[in-house]
Structures are given as C-alpha cells and as structure tokens.
Chain A
Amino acid sequence: MTPPLLEVVGLQKYFPASTGSLFRRKAGWVRAVEAMDFTVGEGETLGLIGESGCGKTTTAKLILLQERPTAGTIHFAGTDISALRGAQLMEYRRQVQVVFQDPFSSLSPRMRVKDIVAEPLEIHTDQPRAEREERVAHVLHLVGLQRDVMELFPHEFSGGQRQRVAIARALVTDTRLIVLDEPVSALDVSIRAQIMITLEQLQQELGVSYLFIGHDLATVAHISHRIAVMYLGQLVEMADSLEMCTHPLHPYTQALFIAALPAHPDVPYERLALTGEIPSALAPPPGCRFHTRCPRAMPRCAEEVPARKEVAPGHMVACHLY
C-alpha cells in the first residue's frame, strides 16, 4: 500500500517566550502546536480549520520547513523531511509549494509575471529559456489567464488575478502538494468562488494535493475531502467533510457550526453558548484546552487531557463526552 503523500505524527512546536523589555528572561513556552497527527493522500485535500492562535499557520510553517519541530515527525512520500539536505532538500522544495493569503504582497512588485512564475523553474531545473516560457504559458492557461499577461507587472492586476498568478507559480514545477494558507480570505466575494472553482479543477486535472487552511467553514468544507479542526494547538476533531458537516461531535466544532452565519434570514439562528475569549497559548488551560469555554464541560475536563478516539470509521474526536 502506498504511503500517504504527507504523514505527520506527534508534531509539536513550542516557541520560547520572553518577558521584560530591557532584560529578556525566559518566561515559559508558547505551545503553538501539540501532538498533531494527520495525513494527506495523493490528489486529496485536507482542510485545516481553527481560529487565531490555534496553530494552523505554525503547522504550515513546519511543513514548509520554515520552522523546525520541537518533537514529532513529518514524512513526505515516505521520507522524513527533517533529515533532508542538499539535493534532496531542493527536491522537496520543488514538490511542495505554498500560496499565501495576501495577493498584494506575495508577488514581487518589480518582476514581470513571466519571471515570477518562472522563478521556481529557474531554481530547480536547467531548462532553456524558451522551454521555460512555454511551461509558464501552459500553467497560466491552466489557472485561467491568457498568454499576454506574461509581460505585465503585478500592480496591473486585480487581487483575484494576482492570486491566480500565485497559484500558477505554485504549480509550475510539477508540484505534488500545495499548502494554501487562507487563499481566498482577502478576495472579493464574487472572485472567491472563481478561485475555488479553479483550485478544484486543477486538482482534478493534475492530481495535486492541497492542505487548505481557512477559517470559513463553508468554504473549507466545500473544497476538502477531509477536515481537521484545531483549537489552541491541538487537533480536536478530524473526519470526512460530509460526515463532519452532518455529525459534528466536538463541542468546539459544533460552536463553529452555530457561529457560521445563516444563508437566509428565515433560518432559525441559535445563539452561541460559547463564552469568554480564546486563552493564550502561553498558558493553555490544563486538561482539555477547550474546557474553559465549553458549554458541556465536566469536572474531568479540567484534569485529564482527552485521548483521541475513533468514534466512527474515519471520524476522530478528542473529547471526554465520547
């Protein structure tokens, strides 16, 4: 059986936190990511949902090797990426790319589109210029842009078009996994749907896998095959997309569903039973990190960290209620 494309086991990342402005003392650790396990298969999309401080951006950085994990392993196509050096590291970078949220700062303002998209090719291959340009034109066509945009500069485009350029750049080197960090959040509503459709089409045509990070449940659920919900650095629930939407089990996931706004004024609106603010990752609550806000918290929740259980095939939950 082929290993999944991306396999993350026991991933942990703590950042040292210091206090004091003049003399910096170490005050403890920011537990950004704790005990994350997940996989992304070939041609599959895993959606990562959570609010600020949940660790989804840190997880992305760990996968992109912008940070080193404090513990745990990340395997890509069977190989442990923390051991990669030299040519193997370059090969990893060729196969794993990223698209960021802000289309306005992710493209170099003084480079033409054709150079921006061709850059990964220049770094990783020895292709002659003509071949590179053909590849760039091909990839631009895949994302819905015409050839003649190649000579233009980023500031001559709208946000949605720039995001397409960013996606084109992420695909140009036969990428196998793209990490998408809130790729449509900064775009206009009417453009969002265009980009989502483009991403879905690309996945069908090229078989590329996505790690889709977002905060809008509906958008993430639509594009993902499976969804993982994070809260304060921990994975609280993971399931098939449809299963998650019809049977959300964890109280936090349920809160996210309630908080998601109605599609019609007549849809009955339930008030959120959630109270308080999101605690700081510097001093996360003991036991289940969610218990301070959970409407169904029990005494046990403050003491014991809930273990992950597979409550239904493919549906994992970390909660004492189950």
Chain B
Amino acid sequence: MSITTIEPEILVSTAPAARFGGWREWPLLSLAILVPFVLAALFADIIAPYDPTEPIPGLKYFTPPAWMEGGDSRALLGTDFQSRDILSRLLHGARISIIVGVMGTVVAGSIGTAFGILAGYLGGWVDQVIMRLTDAWLALPAIVFAIFLATLLGPSLWNIIIILGSVYWTRYSRVIRGEVLSLREREYVKLAEIAGARPKRVILRHILPNVLNTATVLGSLTIGVVIIAEASLSFLGVGVPPPSPAWGLMLSEARSTLMAGKWWLTVFPGVCILLVVLATQLFGDWLRIRLDPQQRNL
C-alpha cells in the first residue's frame, strides 16, 4: 500500500518578519517625558546640585527662578521658604513619586491579580467571598480610606506604599476575574485539566501567563493614579513625612504663599506631577494597543 509519506516539516514561520516598523512604533511622547524623570529618579544624588533638605548657604528664602528679576543662577528654579533648592528637591522628589508609584502598583497588582485569579478559576464560595470583599472595599472612598490607614500606621515611605497598594487592588481583581472566567473555558485549559493537571498547575502555567498582559496594562494606568494619591496624601500631611521632597508635600508647604506671588513653589511640582501622570497614561494606552493582537498591526 503506497501512502504518500509526509516529509518532516520544513518550517516557515508565519509570524511577521519585523516586530517594529520604525520610529512610528514607539510611544515617543510618553517616553520623552518618562525617560528623563526615571533618569532623574535614578541619578538624583549625582545630578542634583544641592542637598534637597539643606538650605543653600548664602541665598535668601523665596529666591525666584534664575531668569526672573531677583533670581540667582545658583538656584535655577528658585528656593523655597527654607532656602532649599527647588530643582534639587524636584529631582529627589521624582525618586519618591516613581518609587511609590511603581511599588504601590506592584503591591496593588499582586494582591488584586491573585484575588482575581482565585475568584475566577475556583469559583463557588471563594468567588463569592472575594467579590463581596471587593465590593465592600470599593464602597470605601479611596483617599479617605488611605488617610485613615495613614493616620493609623504613621507616615513613612513603606507605609505609604503598602497603604496605596491596599487601596487600589480592587480594580485588578474585578477585571482579572472577568478575564479568567473566559480563559477558563479555553480549550488549552480544558486540555490541561483532562490531562490530569491540578488547579495549582493550571493556574500557574496556563492562567497566570495569559492574564499578565491585562495586568500590565492595568498597571501602567494605575501608576498615574497612585502617584496622584501619594501627592494628595502628602499634600494633606499624612503622606511621606517632611523634610522629604515629595512633590505633594512641596505643594502643601507652598500653599499659603501661592497668593503672595511665589508661583514657582507650586507650579513646578504641579507640572511634574502632571507630566509624569500624563506620560504613564499615554504609555499605558500604547501598551494596550500594542499587546492586543488585532489592533497592533494597523
């Protein structure tokens, strides 16, 4: 009996040859903003001209920025009410904001994703308990709750990270649970179950890697929210304690002098917050489109 034998396959990859078509592919605007800030956060110690918590010797309080009348070229963006250099404070503040933003998101994301996966995959009473917990948590106003926790735990960088993480995990658990519900029905998951895999294995090998996309996009969008939350907490005095140069704290300290015309004390930190949050949102948007196989190739 002559059966046409099948030669071992000559593999021709059907994946698109080029992953990136050129400069158009990159999120230029968001990276143009984020990269300098991240560099500032990393190298603040080296770049900043002065110590952010020490007054500059020889300079008055409230020196305006260098290009204005009364300004001094030694303090490019001016000084605050304790003669501390605004520029140095901004650079060190970037570190705080970015650390809190990223770590807070990581904490929130981990808690939320874990809850979402357990609720979605295990179903039953586990699902009910987690979802009701999420509902209850969501009913609490985020900032108020954060303030409450902050007054309980006391101000410190790590406490803030944990607090913000504990406040913002709910947006993950909902979304991830929804995704897991649909992933659970995919054939490759069913196949793993038929092959005898136990839930732990199915979750770690099949479910988790496939929700990472969504979790990452959510994460990039959450960073902005967490940064604003931290700034709000610092503004209200329950965030990172002085004399740390957190941007929110700078805003708070300068609040009373805004009307007196010392605009550089509030505008610069405010603009920094604005830019970083905007950039993370844009980046998150780009990431979402990039990771979605259908939209990506247009």
> What is A's interface to B at a CB cutoff of 8 Å?
64-66, 89-90, 93-94, 97-98, 100, 102, 105-111, 119-120, 123-124, 141, 144-146, 148-149, 152, 155-158, 161, 164, 169, 194, 197-198, 200-201
Contacts and interface: CB of A to CB of B under 8 A. Distances in A.
A94 B194 CA distance: 9
B282 to A, nearest CB: 26
A110 B205 CA distance: 9
Contacts of A155: 14-15
A110 B13 CA distance: 16
B187 A100 contact: yes
Interface in B219-270: none
Interface string B23-48: 00000000000000000000000000
A198 B195 contact: no
B201 A123 contact: yes
B3 A197 contact: yes
Given A110-B210, A145-B9, A93 B14 contact: no
Contacts of A194: 6
B186 interface: yes
Contacts of A100: 187, 191
A123 B196 contact: yes
Interface of B: 3-4, 6-9, 11, 13-15, 186-197, 201, 205-206, 209-210
Contact of B3 (A123, A161, A201): A201
A110 B188 CA distance: 11
Contacts of A148: 11
A89 B197 CA distance: 12
| Interface-centre pick from A64, A97, A110, A158 (highest chain B CB count, 10 A) | A110
Given A102-B187, A108-B209, 4 more contacts: A97-B194, A110-B210, A141-B8, A157-B11
B8 A106 contact: no
Given A106-B187, A145-B8, A97 B14 contact: no
A94 B196 contact: yes
A94 to B, nearest CB: 7
B195 to A, nearest CB: 5
Contact of B14 (A109, A120, A157): A157
Closest 10 CB pairs of A and B: A93-B196, A110-B209, A106-B187, A108-B188, A105-B187, A144-B6, A146-B8, A120-B195, A156-B13, A156-B15
